[in-house]
């Protein structure tokens, strides 16, 4: 397994990218941070969520700034309302710009083989998972909170890539971005119960119990387990190894801020020519 995302700062905008993906030359990867936008406190400064109480013009400007820095057309971004399930959208050119619609469809993962079409999921502690098929030139991104982790949303995205693009899981690259870590994700008993139902005894390694009746759970590790079970080799998986809650001055964290926070995006875009 590989460890660490690359931190980039371009024109004052700070974002992360996935080195193993970028090395293929086939795609652009971007995980936004709190740094480089125009939003005012408590949403300062790079907020990408329209539903967080920010002025719409600020959010649009933030998208444009991020797109200019990372290298994608912000106004073509495809993203959806997320409902903590495992439904997957296969995005086409006709979906460009859905991120900016007032009423978006509901998906927690999106995949595409359309070049120059940026696709995204939203995050503020939940786990972002990037996927790349370098053989068939397809990409995906998934959002997994604890419910999505139990529902194995990344596996649903991989299965859809197999059906839609002929992807071979053993050839896929995967990356798990910054999210709340085991250090900070304290839960009641319903969450470990859901993980044991989903993963069986394999979940035990990633759950610790405490005398106060609470539990700590590693969502990144459980999603890595899902990726491996779906057929992706361990050597093809990259972990960011950063906790959004611990580093809440750099990342947005729902838990650290009590919900008074902005939104980050995990974005991937295939390079190449668009279809005529």
Q: Quick check: 221 pLDDT over 70?
A: yes
Domain hosting 33: range is: 2-270
Decide if 233 is inside a domain.
yes
Is 96 a member of any domain? yes
- The predicted pLDDT at position 276 comes to 36
Give Cβ neighbours of residue 63 (< 8 Å, ≥ 6 apart).
48, 74, 75, 77, 99
Taking the C-alpha atoms of residue 76 and residue 7, their distance in angstroms, rounded to an integer, is 24
Overall average pLDDT of the 77-98 stretch: 97
Which pLDDT value is given to residue 53? 95
Between helix 219-229 and helix 190-199 the angle, nearest 10°, is 10
Query: Does residue 216 belong to any structural domain of this protein?
Result: yes
Model pLDDT, residue 275? 40
Q: Is the separation of the CB atoms in 268 and 141 below 8 Å?
A: yes
**Residue 276 belongs to some domain of the structure:** no
Confidence of residue 211 (pLDDT cuts 50, 70, 90): confident
Q: What is the pLDDT of residue 272?
A: 83
Tell me whether residue 246 is in a domain: yes
| pLDDT confidence band for 92 (50 / 70 / 90) | very high
Extended strands (E) in 154-202: 173-176, 186-187
Is there a domain that residue 68 lies in? yes
Number of domains the chain is built from: 1
> 67: helix, coil or strand?
helix
In whole angstroms, what is the distance from residue 175 CA to residue 240 CA? 8
Q: What is the mean pLDDT of the chain?
A: 96
168 C-beta neighbours (distance < 10 Å), count: 14
Q: Determine the distance from the C-alpha atom of residue 221 to the mean position of all C-alpha atoms in its chain, rounded to a whole number.
A: 15
* Residues 150-176, mean pLDDT to the nearest whole number: 98
Is 98 inside any structural domain? yes
Q: Per-residue pLDDT averaged across 202-217, rounded? A: 94
Cα 176–Cα 37–Cα 91 angle in degrees, nearest 5: 50
What backbone phi and psi angles, to 5 degrees, belong to 140? -155, 165
For residues 89 and 142, the answer to whether their CB atoms sit within 8 Å is: no
Has residue 45 got a pLDDT over 90? yes
Say whether pLDDT at 273 is over 70.
no
Q: What is the CATH number of the domain that holds 172?
A: 3.60.140.10
263 occurs within a structural domain: yes
Three-state secondary-structure class, residue 230: coil
What pTM does this model have?
0.96
Q: d(Cα 252, Cα 51) in Å, to the nearest integer?
A: 14
């Amino acid at each position: 397994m590989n460890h660490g995302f690359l931190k980039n700062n371009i024109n004052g905008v700070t974002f992360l990218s996935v080195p193993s993906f970028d090395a293929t030359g086939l795609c652009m990867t971007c995980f936004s941070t709190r740094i480089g936008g125009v939003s005012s406190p408590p949403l300062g400064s790079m907020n990408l969520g329209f539903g967080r109480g920010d002025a719409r013009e600020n959010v649009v400007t933030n998208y444009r700034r991020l797109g200019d820095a990372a290298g994608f057309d912000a106004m073509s971004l495809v993203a959806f309302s997320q409902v903590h399930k495992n439904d997957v959208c296969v995005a086409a050119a006709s979906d460009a710009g859905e991120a900016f619609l007032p009423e978006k469809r509901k998906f927690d993962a999106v995949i595409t083989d359309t070049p120059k079409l940026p696709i995204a999921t939203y995050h503020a502690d939940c786990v972002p998972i990037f996927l790349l098929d370098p053989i068939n030139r397809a990409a995906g991104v998934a959002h997994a909170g604890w419910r999505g982790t139990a529902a194995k949303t990344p596996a649903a995205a991989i299965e859809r890539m197999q059906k839609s693009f002929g992807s071979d899981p053993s050839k896929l690259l995967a990356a798990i971005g910054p999210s709340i870590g085991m250090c900070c994700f304290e839960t009641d008993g319903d969450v470990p119960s859901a993980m044991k139902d989903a993963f069986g005894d394999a979940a035990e390694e990633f759950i610790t119990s405490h005398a106060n009746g609470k539990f700590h759970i590693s969502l990144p590790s459980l999603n890595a387990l899902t990726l491996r079970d779906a057929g992706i080799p361990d050597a093809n998986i990259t972990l960011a190894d950063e906790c959004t809650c611990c580093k809440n001055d750099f990342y947005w964290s729902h838990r650290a801020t009590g919900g008074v926070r902005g939104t980050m995006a995990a974005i991937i875009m295939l390079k190449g020519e668009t279809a005529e």
